[in-house]
Structure 1
Amino acid sequence: MRGFLLLAFLLLLISVTNAQSLSGQIGSVKRGGQTRGVIILDIPEGLHVNSNRPNNEYAIPTTVKLYSKDAVVSNVSYPKGKTKKFGFSEKPISVYEGKTKFTFRVRVPAKFKGNSIRVHAVVRYQACNNEVCFPPTEKEITLNAKVI
């Protein structure tokens, strides 16, 4: 019986930490020019993730890291979180819910020779429900953009 309960808990933990989906887009960009990109973390109803500034020393903040060999990526803009009170914390915590968009800038060098660029994003977050927070996890995505 203990084994069954442990297995059920582990399956729940895996399903919650993988419930969020990640998508994104980068607009076409000219050589020597720049454009904006967006990463979208879709958080299912009943869950939230800590914002990048959760206002709680124990809450793990959401971070977005961007990498590219083809372009210069910069200025990740985090949305403002919603301040909410939960039973597991004495103070309100800043969180993200629903579709959460992180924007960034992409600049392509004038001497870039390819027809497209790739930007790799790693989003690290801690998912929670109204009673408990789950271990932090990461999701990754690679975005492509046409160079014109």
Structure 2
Amino acid sequence: MLVAFAAAATNAQTVNVGGSIGNGTVARGGSARGVVTLNIPGGLHVNSNRPNSEYAIPTSVRLTATGGRVSAPTYPRGKNKRFQFSNGTINIYEGRVTIPFTVRVPANFRGNTVTVRAAVRYQACTDEVCYPPRTQNITLTARVR
């Protein structure tokens, strides 16, 4: 019974992280918009990248590219919300959150694929408790034409 409860608690705090690069192709010498997507289950929120609290762990996306250069992510504005456990408001994300970036492929790139790796760190919380922070790693690819 305890094992089932622990598994349920782990699944309850899971945020589905995904993403894409443009329509799946990038022109050689060109650029494409990519996105990292967080699908946050109902009843949960994650702290934004600027949560307004020294104790809240911010959401962060670390991007690296092979075959191109990748910009820094552009974080959306969160929503300020007050919780019983905090003195002030905390800036959070809920629901579906998209974090865009740009990938550029040099004109002299000889490969066929550009790869962007994203390490997404977040802390999922309910209105009453925060779970330990997690990092999910994803790999996004696009064909170079």
User: In the alignment, what sits opposite 2:31?
Assistant: 34
Aligned positions of 1:43-58 closer than 5 A: 43-58=40-55
For residues 77-136 of structure 1, the C-alpha deviation after alignment (integer angstroms, 9 at most, x for no partner) is 000000001111111100000000000010111111112111111100000000011100
TM-score, normalised relative to structure 2: 0.92
Q: Hey, what's the Cα distance between the residues in 2 that align with 1:79 and 1:13?
A: 28
SS in 2 for 1:121: strand
The worse-fitting range, judged by mean Cα deviation, of 9-18 and 133-142 is 9-18
**Which consecutive residues of structure 2, in runs of 5 or more, have no partner in the other structure?**
none
- Contact 1:17/1:137, CA 8 A, preserved across alignment: no
The residue that corresponds to 2:19 in the other structure is 24
Query: Which residue in 1 is equivalent to 2:106?
Result: 109
Q: Which amino acid aligns with 1:32?
A: G
Which runs of 5 or more residues in structure 1 are unaligned? none
The one-letter code sitting in structure 1 at the alignment partner of 2:13 is: T
Q: What is the count of residue pairs matched by the alignment? A: 143
Q: TM-score, normalised by structure 1?
A: 0.91
Deviation at 1:8, TM superposition (A): 5.5
Percent of aligned pairs sharing the same letter = 52
* Pair 1:64 & 2:61 matched: yes
User: CA RMSD, aligned part only?
Assistant: 1.3
Which of 64, 67, 76 is residue 73 of structure 2 equivalent to? 76
Greater shift, 54-63 or 27-36, is seen at 27-36
Alignment-mate amino acid for residue 23 of structure 1: G
